[in-house]
Amino acid sequence: MRSFFEPRADREAYRLAIRKWEADRFRPLNLVLNGNVGRTDEKNIELLAWLIDFKARPYHVWLKVAGPCADDAGQQARRAGEAAGEVTGTGDNERQKPIAGDVLDGDDPAVNGEGEPDAADEKTGRFFRRGDRKLVFLCLWLAAGIGGYFLVHYFWPAGPKGCMIWAGDHYEPADCGDRSAAIPLRAIDHELVDYFRRITRPDTLTPFSIGKVWYAKYHGRVEFYTGKGSGLHPLDSTRRLLPMTDYILEKYIYHIRN
C-alpha cells in the first residue's frame, strides 16, 4: 500500500487517496494479469497480491524463500487474479499497451505517455462521434422543418396569398396585389381563415353557445360569429365583437323563434 499509494498518515488518509487515485494508474496490474509484460515494478506485484489475497506476502520476502518456484507461484497468482476480476486502468501517465517482455519503468514510452491510444478506445470514440453527428443533424433538420412550418404558416405571409379578404361568412386567402376587391384586404391570419365564421343559422344557438359565440350589430341587424376573431367586425373596424349573453340569446334568438 505504501509503495503504491505513497506513505500516508493513517487509514483515513489511505481511504481518501484510493478514492482520488486515477483509474489509469492501475493499468500495470491489468497488464500483469493478462501476461502482457515480462517484468513490472515490485510495487505493482505487492498491490496485486494484496488485492487477490495472495497469502505469501510481502512479495520480496516470498521471492527469496520461493526461489525457482516463484515463477510457478506467480502464474497461479495471475490466474487467481483473473478469477477474482480484472483490474482495469493504466499506470502513471501510461497510454500504450506494452508487448511481452517490456519493462514498466520511467524510461518506457508507454509509461511516459508517448504511446498511442488503445485501438479499441479509438474505434469506440469514432463510433460515438459518428453517432453524435447523426443525432445532431437529425435534431437540426427536425427543428428547421418545424420552425419553417410555423414561420410560414402563422407569421410570414409569403407568396401570392399573403393577404385575406372577407367572403360574406368567412375569410379567404387573397393576393396582396389585387386592387379589384371592393373591400379592403388584410394581412393573412391563418387561424381566422381556418376557424372564424359568421353563423348563418342563428336559430341553432342554445344556452350552451354562451361564452363561445360572439356578436356585433351591423347595418341594423345582429350577426353572430364562431369566436372573437380579431375582436372587430370583419367589414367595419369601428365595431367590436362582444360575447353573447343570456339577454342577447333571449332577445335576438328566442324572441324571433317565438
Alpha-carbon dihedral sign for residues 76, 82, 85, 86: positive
Instruction: List the beta bridge partners of residue 217.
Output: 222
Confidence of residue 166 (pLDDT cuts 50, 70, 90): very high
* Confidence at 239, pLDDT banded by 50, 70, 90: very high
Contacting residues for 172 by C-beta, under 8 A, at least 6 apart: 164, 165, 193
Q: Is the pLDDT reported for residue 194 higher than 60? A: yes
State pLDDT tens for residues 28-57: 767 777 766 666 777 767 777 767 777 666
Instruction: Give me the sheet containing 214-218, strands edge to edge.
Output: 221-225, 214-218, 242-243
Give me the phi and psi of 242, to 5 degrees please.
-125, 150
Residues 117-143: what's their mean pLDDT? 68
pLDDT of residue 249: 93
Mean pLDDT of 230-239: 92
What is the percentage of the chain residues whose pLDDT exceeds 90? 27
pLDDT classification of 7: cutoffs 50, 70, 90: low
pLDDT at 95 over 60: no
pLDDT for residue 179: 79
Q: Band of the pLDDT at 88, cuts 50, 70, 90?
A: very low
pTM of the model: 0.40
